[in-house]
Structure 1
Amino acid sequence: MAHSAAIFDPAAATAAYLAQLPPEAHAKAQAYTHGGHWLLLWSALVSVAVAWLLLRTGVLVRLRRRIASRRRRPWLAALAVVGAGLAIESLLVLPWNAYEHWWRERAYGLTSQGFRGWLLEALAKDLIYGLITLALMLGLYALIRRAPKRWWLWGAGATGVVFVLMLVVAPVLIQPLFNTFKPAPPGPVRDAVVALAQANGVPSDKIVIFNGSKQSNRYTANVSGLFGTARVAMSDVMFAKGADMAEVRGVVGHEMGHYVHRHTLWLAGAYTLMALAAFFLVDKLFFPVLHLTGAEGVEGLADPAGMPVIGIILTVLGLLATPLTCAITREAESDADRFSLERAHEPDGLAKALVKTIEYRAATPSKLEEVLFYDHPAVGVRIRRCMDWKAAHLDDPAKPR
């Protein structure tokens, strides 16, 4: 092994992979990535501004008073006020979302979708996820009324249940509304993936290809679902960009790592703990933030007309927690890479696939930038890990490819 390691230089191999893209492509990826960092701040400011506008206009307070004057039913007031608030917020942020998720993506060549198609899908998603948010908020307001001192504790538990339900429901009921998922067709690719799935305890009938090119030109795959609904889904963009067998095995091995190691459950648990901390802070910060907005007529935390105050607090907390949420998902992605290398034995396949993701995730950020903003390890770091693994297993004929 020492002789082989002396011949193979992981650092040089990593540099060679990164050099497959010309300097101007790396510069474009860096501009896109750095712009994305700023978008975190601008998106938060847009959300806060919309919430502030709702509070200062008093539209939700007037709606709540009108309902209360006719019939004293807190759940009805919450239903009407929260529903109206979510609908108004959705419409007010739509222009910003169009810039962020369509115009900018199209400007960088990351989508070929027309504006009309994007808009229809955006409105449909707003409706679906708005209804889910409405149900969750109604539950939270019921908890606030019945357990005003400990609502945040019960609320975090309810939020965790919603997280898990979404992991089960979304792949089956929501995602097929926007994309077509088909089993990988018979052939060498399917045979290789089935063999890899069977070797690692993954259902071999849960490997699908979807028309991700409908919305995005990104080279991507994902794992989603739980309890029999889980599946590994590969975008057709992978194959349009020439994914070979080694890439397929490397990428699918990564996604199987998420499934086998139950990363979705771990992430749901982590986000539930974060929700617990966030709701506790909402309980403590509601009145100070309400005072800062200068809004009038909101009667307290249990008043649904104060929902924008909760939104402001959660938006700011979410922005501040970006390094934490990135660290959590980054560790899951690192673990999935390790799984792929150990089970699929395709360091070069995984590296080739990673190079194709550089266009939307700059490859060599500073360590500080990676820690603060990257929800995946930097591509350069991931490729180097692949090459280090390859170097460590060069003399093992059963492993490197």
Structure 2
Amino acid sequence: MYIYLFNAKQELPKEYVNGPADPATFMSIDQLRIATVYSRIKDFLFFIGIPWEWAIYLLILGLGLSASFLSIAKRVSKKSFLVQSGIYVAILSVFVTILQFPLYYYSYKVSRDYGINIQSVSSWLADKGKGFLLDLFLTIPMVWLLYVMLRKSPKRWWLWFWLISIPLTVLLFFIQPVIIDPIFNDFQYLQDQNLKEDILALARKADIPTDQVYQVNMSKKTTALNAYVTGIGANARIVLWDTTLSKLNKDEILFIMAHEMGHYVYRHVYWMLLGFILSSLFILYLVNKLINWLVKKYGHLWRIKSVGDISSLPLFLLVLSILTFLISPIENTISREAERAADAYAISITHDKEGAISAFQKLAVESLVEPNPPKIVKFFLYSHPTMVERIYTLNKYE
């Protein structure tokens, strides 16, 4: 991957050359070089991080550490399976996080060196700590529930666990904008009243029943630009980063907001939720088949007595991570189509081709996005079309 990423030359399609989608028309040679190197480093860290995560789980299993973690949990609480689950998950999470931390920190340092992340180390560590505790808070009851199902129904646990997870998943989507997101960032109503009225006028044109637009204070953490739609039902929100507000002009912002409204109009969040629920059923079924085979074949080496033994959790996480990685290109392909639909909606409602094109050009420059990444990177990492593809498509709009 290193040789591929840092030596492969990505040719720009001939039809893009000298047009607005050509990076040479909106980026200097230095800007393009810096964006390319920065993006390739981040891509390489991804392709290191995934197998490193798998290696950590294999290390925990191969050295019998998982069984040792469970022994510690049982010594602390001899009767309560919920307490045992909590202690085991906490020990496992701390161990995995310690081994993953060097890659996390190096990724942060690279972002700092290239001026994208402007957080202090203490602020960055605080966010990582919040994320760790939040993950622990959500994971412990799910793991407990998983192994209760495994013990009560060894053959159909995957189906019962999936059914129980559906309302929990919907609840998580619902509360994310109002409970989870504010833990990490400060949200407020959009302060620019004139811009707010223009955005709400677009919303009325799109029949979106809203009277608010949100901005989030990201300028204390990053120089990158972004906007997004999140949540479902009454908690659905369209959010602008304050960096986007400060670096794009009104026409460019209106196009970005129209794009996010396109997601709302086409109910992409609901489709994403449905897709996640359906794909999780398929994945859990495969996990069931694979983990039973693996425990029968290698369980004695890993000191795992049965699949229902909580010490099998690293194996669950390993298989789940591999399957998620393998289906990620499918998810990315579907997501890219949704983004294209949102782009088409935005340009059809604003009729501002120039504002749309300049918005994406500035996004590429300010966020150090490689406009035309290698194909493997796009295949595994890109949930959005590349910048050159989006600009080229918008330029053809009439």
- TM normalised by structure 2 equals 0.87
Which residue of the partner structure matches residue 118 of structure 2? 112
Change (3 A) 1:30 1:161: farther
Equivalent residue runs for 1:2-401 within 5 Å: 13-15=19-21, 19-65=25-71, 71-100=78-107, 102-241=108-247, 243-290=248-295, 291=297, 295-358=301-364, 359-365=367-373, 369-389=377-397, 392=398
Q: Residue 213 of structure 1: SS of its match in structure 2?
A: coil
Q: Residue 356 of structure 1: SS of its match in structure 2?
A: helix
**Contact 2:230–2:236 (CA<8 Å) still a contact in 1?**
yes
- Counterpart of 2:345, as a letter, is F
Change (3 A) 1:240 1:175: same
Q: Residue 14 of structure 1: SS of its match in structure 2?
A: coil
**Contact 1:253–1:344 (CA<8 Å) still a contact in 2?**
yes
CA displacement at 1:205 relative to structure 2: 3.0
Q: Which runs of 5+ in 1 are unaligned?
A: 1-8, 393-401
Q: Residue 351 of structure 1: SS of its match in structure 2?
A: helix
2:37 and 2:298 map into 1 onto residues whose CA distance is 36
Change (3 A) 1:81 1:10: closer
CA displacement at 1:339 relative to structure 2: 1.5
**Contact 2:21–2:391 (CA<8 Å) still a contact in 1?**
no
Change (3 A) 1:206 1:164: farther
Change (3 A) 1:190 1:11: farther
Q: CA RMSD in A?
A: 2.5
Q: Residue 235 of structure 2: SS of its match in structure 1?
A: coil
CA displacement at 1:17 relative to structure 2: 7.0
Change (3 A) 1:361 1:155: farther
1:305 and 1:289 map into 2 onto residues whose CA distance is 14
CA displacement at 1:118 relative to structure 2: 0.2
2:22 and 2:99 map into 1 onto residues whose CA distance is 47
**Contact 2:23–2:371 (CA<8 Å) still a contact in 1?**
no
CA displacement at 1:126 relative to structure 2: 1.0
**Contact 1:322–1:372 (CA<8 Å) still a contact in 2?**
yes
1:115 and 1:67 map into 2 onto residues whose CA distance is 33
1:230 and 1:18 map into 2 onto residues whose CA distance is 38
Moved more, 303-312 or 280-289: 280-289
Change (3 A) 1:367 1:178: closer
Q: Which runs of 5+ in 2 are unaligned?
A: 1-14
Instruction: State percent identity of aligned pairs.
Output: 25
2:64 and 2:21 map into 1 onto residues whose CA distance is 58
- Counterpart of 1:249, as a letter, is L
- Counterpart of 2:384, as a letter, is H
2:188 and 2:45 map into 1 onto residues whose CA distance is 34
Change (3 A) 1:16 1:57: closer
**Contact 1:157–1:272 (CA<8 Å) still a contact in 2?**
no
Moved more, 347-356 or 306-315: 347-356
Q: Deviations over 1:372-397 (max 9, x none)?
A: 432110111111111111xx2xxxxx
Moved more, 295-304 or 219-228: 295-304
**Contact 1:75–1:142 (CA<8 Å) still a contact in 2?**
no
How many aligned positions are there? 380
Q: Residue 222 of structure 1: SS of its match in structure 2?
A: strand
Change (3 A) 1:39 1:227: same
Moved more, 326-335 or 86-95: 86-95
1:181 and 1:170 map into 2 onto residues whose CA distance is 13
